Amino acid sequence: MTAVVLITGGAAGIGRAIADAVAAEGARAILWDVDAQRLEKAGADLGDQVRTQRVDVSDTDAVDAASAELRDDWAPTHLVNNAGIIGRRMTLAEVDPAEVDRVLAVNVRSAFVATRAFLRMRAERADAAIVNLSSIAAGNGGAAGNAAYAASKGALQSLTFAMARELAPAIRVNALAPGIIDTDIQKDVFADRDEMNTRIATIPLHRLGEAVDVAQAAVWLLFRATYTTGEVMTVSGGKK
């Protein structure tokens, strides 16, 4: 049976790179995303190896409706909880509770909701695995003004440990903690060239990460790390 990997936030950035890597492995991918245009492009690029659905993964009803359409040969065998946003920069003194709720809904609540859907519809497979996308911000607090993002990624790592324990031995669950990756989600950060150069100087490998760097690690955790569960793998060029 061909592996079918459900990827949230799968139309762009790290999610799309993981979809490409999954397809290169001969597996198929289901992409959930809110960006209809990018979903259409992914469908055109990957053809029969991909199924795309426009889904807001922070919306329980939307997730349930999308998952109801995935049956038979499109029942997923693996899951990547990748959907995430950085959110608006704000100091703790200026925190907007509504913005905090938005970040937590997309970055954390969606992982609960998508995982529930996956467990209800999945096709059993011996190498079944879930990969959650955290961040080094979970350990270092992230950039100034992004406390909500850092907190959400810390919560996702704790969730990873809980999931690994509860779902063993049937499903392995691990997380990836990328560093500074050159994707659209970082466009606001990189708008300041001087700030970008300052950040690059803090990376031991002296370059920004690329989405493909994270995708390579995701493929290993999905398909090859058969005795690894409950772990967080850092993909950051050496940056802590």
Task: Work out the mean pLDDT of the chain and round it to a whole number.
Answer: 95
Residue 80 belongs to some domain of the structure: yes
Residue 135 belongs to some domain of the structure: yes
What pLDDT is recorded for position 155? 98
Number of domains in the chain: 1
Residue 240 belongs to some domain of the structure: no
How would residue 34 be classed by pLDDT, with cut points 50, 70 and 90?
very high
pTM attached to this predicted model:
0.95
Q: Which residues are catalytic?
A: 149
Q: How far is CA 3 from the centre of its chain?
A: 18
Classify residue 117 as exposed, middle or buried by CB count within 10 Å of its CB (0-12, 13-18, 19+).
buried
Residue 11 belongs to some domain of the structure: yes
Among 33-37, 142-146, 224-228, whose mean pLDDT is lowest?
142-146
Model pLDDT for residues 133-145, shown as the tens digit of each residue: 999 999 999 989 9
Residue 35 belongs to some domain of the structure: yes
| Percentage of the residues of the chain whose pLDDT score is greater than 90 | 88
Q: Which long-range contacts (CB under 8 A, 24 or more apart) does 142-148 make?
A: 143/89, 143/189, 144/89, 144/91, 145/89, 145/90, 145/91, 146/86, 146/87, 146/89, 147/92, 147/95, 148/87, 148/90, 148/95, 148/99, 148/100, 148/103, 148/104
* pLDDT of 12 above 70: yes
How would residue 72 be classed by pLDDT, with cut points 50, 70 and 90?
confident
CATH of the domain at 159: 3.40.50.720
Q: Helix, strand or coil for residue 90? A: coil
* pLDDT of 20 above 70: yes
How would residue 24 be classed by pLDDT, with cut points 50, 70 and 90?
very high
Average pLDDT over residues 11-16: 97
Model pLDDT for residues 159-187, shown as the tens digit of each residue: 999 999 999 999 999 999 999 898 876 66
Residue 18 belongs to some domain of the structure: yes
Query: Which residues constitute the domain of residue 83?
Result: 4-235
* pLDDT of 73 above 90: no
What pLDDT is recorded for position 199? 83
What pLDDT is recorded for position 185? 67
Residue 52 belongs to some domain of the structure: yes
